[in-house]
């Protein structure tokens, strides 16, 4: 929209006409045709698999926590909230994106584009906040030896994270500059080049809140956790295998009680490894989308290039892949989750159970504690 003033009048000046013609030329050179039919069919199959598996897998997580009061621990409430955000992405964002990619056109209008973008960032920000809370909780348990996260505190943190995520995501609906008729796919609801300085600042803030700040905090937490686990393992080894004869007798006495030590360390190492795998999966799925979003917002040449739209679609669906990755990790790493999933399978289709060794439940903060005078608590 142009404003009238006494110097330039209300019509297009020569400078504006030249700029407009240059923009049209850039659009004609950069606009790409529709994706090949075979590629669109393959993408549609992959997208349907991601939507179905992401919805069903995360729905099982929520049902398990909802139906079993014994499963409503603090960490399980956080994991259920993370699964709920992935369900919302599968319901409100993925189908719209799939229809747009397959049909190669946006059929839902600019208002729905803004709503979809706001919901996308809302659910993504909430999922990132949950991962961040879990990482800090693991840091406090293992490094600081403080197990303070109760179910009631977890519910308060979840409510606060939803409120903060909504406040951060709401401006995206007002500042979205797509569907303006400029870019490799004019009229599509895609990431756009941003000229406004406030919108650029908001884009940087969003990228920092979604990726850079959480990854930095989680990376610091997990490095400290790994260092603590390594030092405690060395401390246990040195205590069990001292050099003196007197120490050897003490070491033999300790070695006569290896089951408790191995059970505790194996249990907690496996639990920490599961959270670490979730962090690595989040980083891999979200790094391309964050980088492409910043490049599109600040580089007009990249935004108008012929390869931006296919790269943007691929990065977007890679970020959606996290919704499938999380329940797959739960099924792979968490025995109780697999056992709970078996209840949803008909008895005729269940596999025979293999007898295994039972393990005693222990407090999370006590497993990594290793005092100088004892091997494990």
- Measured CA to CA, the distance from residue 195 to residue 200 in angstroms comes to 7
Asked if 272 and 138 touch (Cβ cutoff 8 Å), the reply is yes
> How far apart (Å, rounded) are the C-alpha atoms in residues 27 and 185?
9
- Tell me, yes or no, whether 351 lies in a domain: no
In a domain, 190, yes or no: yes
Query: Has residue 210 been placed in a domain?
Result: yes
Contact 151, 77 (CB under 8 A): yes
Split into its structural domains, the chain has a count of 1
Dump pLDDT digits (tens) for 104-144: 777 887 788 888 889 999 999 999 999 999 989 888 888 88
Residue 85 lies in a domain: yes
Q: Whole domain around residue 79: which residue ranges?
A: 34-338
Question: Residue 17: inside a domain, yes or no?
Answer: no
Question: Which residues of the chain register pLDDT less than 70?
Answer: 1-35, 175-188, 191, 237, 239-271, 344-377
Is 71 inside a domain boundary? yes
- Render pLDDT for 316-347 as a digit per residue (tens, 0 to 9): 888 898 888 888 888 888 777 777 777 766 66
CA distances from 69 to 63, 76, 151, 307 (A): 11, 11, 11, 50
CATH code for the domain of 245: 1.20.1070.10
Please indicate, yes or no, if residue 363 is contained in any of the structural domains: no
18 lies in some domain? no
Q: How many CB atoms lie within 10 A of CB 370?
A: 21
Beta bridge partners of 9: 5
């Amino acid at each position: 929209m142009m404003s009238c003033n006494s110097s330039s009048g209300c019509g297009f000046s020569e400078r504006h006409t030249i700029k407009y013609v240059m923009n049209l030329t850039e659009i004609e050179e950069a606009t790409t045709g529709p994706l090949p039919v075979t590629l669109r069919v393959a993408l549609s199959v992959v997208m349907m698999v991601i939507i179905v598996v992401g919805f069903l897998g995360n729905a099982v997580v929520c049902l398990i926590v909802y139906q079993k009061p014994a499963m409503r621990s603090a960490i399980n409430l956080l994991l259920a909230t993370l699964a709920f955000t992935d369900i919302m992405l599968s319901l409100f964002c993925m189908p719209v994106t799939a229809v747009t990619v397959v049909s190669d056109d946006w059929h839902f209008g600019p208002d729905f584009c803004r709503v979809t973008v706001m919901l996308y960032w809302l659910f993504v920000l909430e999922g990132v906040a949950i991962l961040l809370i879990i990482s800090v909780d693991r840091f406090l348990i293992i490094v600081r030896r403080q197990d303070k996260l109760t179910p009631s505190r977890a519910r308060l943190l979840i409510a606060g994270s939803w409120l903060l995520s909504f406040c951060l995501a709401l401006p995206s609906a007002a500042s979205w500059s797509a569907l303006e008729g400029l870019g490799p796919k004019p009229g599509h609801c895609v990431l756009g080049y941003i000229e406004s300085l406030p919108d650029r600042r908001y884009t940087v803030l969003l990228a920092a809140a979604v990726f850079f700040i959480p990854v930095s905090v989680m990376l610091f937490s997990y490095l400290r956790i790994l260092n603590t686990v390594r030092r405690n393992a060395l401390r246990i080894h040195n205590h069990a295998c001292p050099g003196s004869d007197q120490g050897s007798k003490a070491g033999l006495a300790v070695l006569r009680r290896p089951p408790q030590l191995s059970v505790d360390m194996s249990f907690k190492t496996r639990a920490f490894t599961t959270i670490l795998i979730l962090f690595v999966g989040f980083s891999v799925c979200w790094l391309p989308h964050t980088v492409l979003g910043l490049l599109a917002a600040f580089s007009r040449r990249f935004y108008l290039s012929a390869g931006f739209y296919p790269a943007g679609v691929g990065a977007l669906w890679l970020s959606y892949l996290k919704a499938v990755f999380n329940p797959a990790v739960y099924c792979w790493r968490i025995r109780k989750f697999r056992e709970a999933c078996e209840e949803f399978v008909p008895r005729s289709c269940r596999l025979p159970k293999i007898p295994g060794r039972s393990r005693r439940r222990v407090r999370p903060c006590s497993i990594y504690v290793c005092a100088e005078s004892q091997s494990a608590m």
